[in-house]
Amino acid sequence: MGRHTVLKTVVFTSAVAGSFMAAPIVGKAAFGDHTLHKGMKHADVRELQSRLKKYGYFTYPEATGYYGKITEDAVKKFQRDMGIQIDGVVGKNTYRMLTEYSKKSITAKRVTSTKSSATLKKGMRGKEVEKLQIKLKELGFFKVGVTGYYGAVTEQSVKDFQRSKRLKVTGIADQSTLDRLYKKENKQDGASSAGKNKPLKIGMRGKDVEKLQTRLKELGFFKAGVTGYFGIVTEQSVKDFQKTRKLKVTGIADETTLHMLYKNIMPKPEKPKPKPKPTTTQTNVVLKEGMRGKEVEQLQFNLKTLGFFKVGVTGYFGTVTKRAVSDFQSSTGLPVTGQADSLTLKKIDEQLEKGTSTPKTNNPSFNPINVVADAIELLGKPYVWGGTTPKGFDCSGFVQYVYSKNSIQLPRTVSQMWQEGKKLSEPQVGDLVFFETYKPGASHVGIYIGKGQFVHCGDEKTGVTTALMSNSYWKQRYLGSKRYY
């Protein structure tokens, strides 16, 4: 046989074989004739996707005909809701459910399945368990911290709730228990309306923030003046509230926090641990890095009161405490060692005794503490030349804005402010402090907040911030202080 003959035979054979191989695809097959699984590309896959989409399981914008992970997940979810084997493969039973059941009956089975899957029991964990614990806590059945884990304590709490409602006492949060638990959730007091609001957090302002501050003040968590601005003081007050309720401490007034906050019948708050008061420190001991205990805790609190220790009181003398001691020593002309020796401790006590008084005022409606609180709430607001609102301040615009919130109208410019007011030998809380910076005479102003510090709107880099009067830059530019009340 010649070369061309062999070639022709091979081509003919391949063509025939190809026609047989193609036959199953060319032939029209009914939906359900093929088992469908991940990795396939087939017309039946497109039909499958269309049906799953109709029932709300396939969420991809269009049917592609390719059986990938999205399709497999949709199939598994469908199988789970229908109560058949969950394998992600479309076989006989899955086809039957897809072809024999109507959309209405599938939806009904789906709802039933969703309800039954809501049962919570011992050993489970997650958001639903967390929500259950929060609700039980609100009703007084769950006494410990919210964990999201359904353990023995949660089980006992559920039993106690079931017993109180004359339900079957199983310790399992089944649908009837959950229905009873959340039955009046949307019909309660102001908590329900508060929960519909978006979370309140640092930087926000408005009536909702004002309402939040007022409520926190009523409960003893917010010590400053109500401003309607959510700043660092408000954030800390929210954190303190969350701690007493054993909620997640974020400083954000989310739905759960607001719900707890506005409940008419609130659990009694746990008595917060009393904070140490600034007091005379023992002077017969040297406190230094590596030490811990009550003396270190008192030292940290005293330095915090004076504005040198910026973090939480821990009772451990680490590098942050050492730096705070060094900064204090530097600002008061003591040898900078970073160790709190008797001389340093005595100086701290002297500073505390000097800096804790609040000036009296002839205006009974004016409270300097509120001025400080309102000013602190604006920390971090940007600097804008000529700015007079929280969208952006210059130094005089900032001071004028804070004072106007406390019913005192000041002139617009620094030089005009300097011309008015009562001159003081030294400032007290709420007084204005003036500096000579870029031109002769008063050209910068801030609000004295005590402990040798003032708050002001500095420049584009800092915005509203705090500074030490003893800082070398401000110390040499200080002109004096004035009072306007």
Rounded to an integer, the average pLDDT of 348-357 is 62
pLDDT value for 364: 54
pLDDT at 149 over 70: yes
Q: Which CATH homologous superfamily contains domain 368-483?
A: endopeptidase domain like (from Nostoc punctiforme) (3.90.1720.10)
Residue 74 CA to residue 62 CA, distance in Å, equals 14
Rounded to an integer, the average pLDDT of 66-88 is 85
Residue count of the chain: 485
pLDDT at 366 over 80: no
**Sequence ranges of the chain with CATH classification 3.90.1720.10:** 368-483
Nearest to 156 by CA among 166, 144, 148: 144
Rounded to an integer, the average pLDDT of 377-381 is 89
- The string of DSSP codes covering 172-189 is -B-HHHHHHHSTTGGGSS
Nearest to 406 by CA among 376, 372, 382, 434: 372
Overall fold of domain 294-354: Muramoyl-pentapeptide Carboxypeptidase; domain 1 (1.10.101)
Residue 18 CA to residue 20 CA, distance in Å, equals 5
Instruction: Evaluate the CA torsion angle 158, 164, 165, 170 in order and state its sign.
Output: positive
**Sequence ranges of the chain with CATH classification 1.10.101.10:** 30-116, 127-183, 192-261, 294-354
Is residue 110 very low, low, confident or very high in pLDDT (cuts 50, 70, 90)?
low
Overall fold of domain 192-261: Muramoyl-pentapeptide Carboxypeptidase; domain 1 (1.10.101)
- Considering just the CA atoms, what is the radius of gyration of the chain in Å? 35
Could you tell me which residue, 404 or 233, shows the higher pLDDT?
404
Q: What amino acid is encoded at 391 in this protein?
A: K
Residue 112 · residue 131 · CB < 8 Å: no
Q: What is the pLDDT of residues 47-58, one digit of tens each?
A: 899 888 888 888
Q: What percent of the chain has pLDDT over 70?
A: 79
Say which range, 44-53, 185-194, 217-226, has the weakest mean pLDDT.
Answer: 185-194
Residue 235 · residue 251 · CB < 8 Å: yes
| Of the ranges 76-85, 90-99, 183-192, 431-440, the best mean pLDDT one | 431-440
Rounded to an integer, the average pLDDT of 422-436 is 92
> Residue 15: helix, strand or coil by DSSP?
helix
Q: What is the pLDDT of residues 303-344, one digit of tens each?
A: 877 778 777 778 888 888 898 898 888 878 888 899 999 888
pLDDT at 269 over 80: no
pLDDT value for 391: 92
- Give residue 83's region: left, alpha or beta (phi > 0; psi -120 to 50): left
Say if domain 127-183 classifies as CATH 1.10.3720.10.
no
pLDDT value for 194: 38
Residue 284 CA to residue 282 CA, distance in Å, equals 6
Q: CATH: 3.40.50.261, 1.10.510.10, 1.10.101.10, 3.40.640.10. Which one for 30-116?
A: 1.10.101.10
Q: What is the pLDDT of residues 193-221, one digit of tens each?
A: 333 457 898 878 788 888 888 888 888 88
Q: Which helix (H) or strand (E) holds 434?
A: strand 432-435
pLDDT value for 360: 45
User: Can you state the angle between helices 294-305 and 319-331, rounded to 10 degrees?
Assistant: 50
Q: What is the mean pLDDT of the chain?
A: 78
- The string of DSSP codes covering 397-422 is HHHHHHHHHTT----SSHHHHHHSSE
pLDDT value for 11: 40
Rounded to an integer, the average pLDDT of 430-446 is 91
Residue 384 · residue 395 · CB < 8 Å: no
Q: Where are the alpha helices (DSSP H) in 312-367?
A: 319-331, 342-354
Residue 433 · residue 454 · CB < 8 Å: yes
Burial 349-368 (b: 16+ CB within 10 A, else e): bebbeebeeeeeeeeeebbb
Cβ-based burial of 76 (10 A; exposed 0-12, middle 13-18, buried ≥19): middle
Is residue 24 very low, low, confident or very high in pLDDT (cuts 50, 70, 90)?
very low
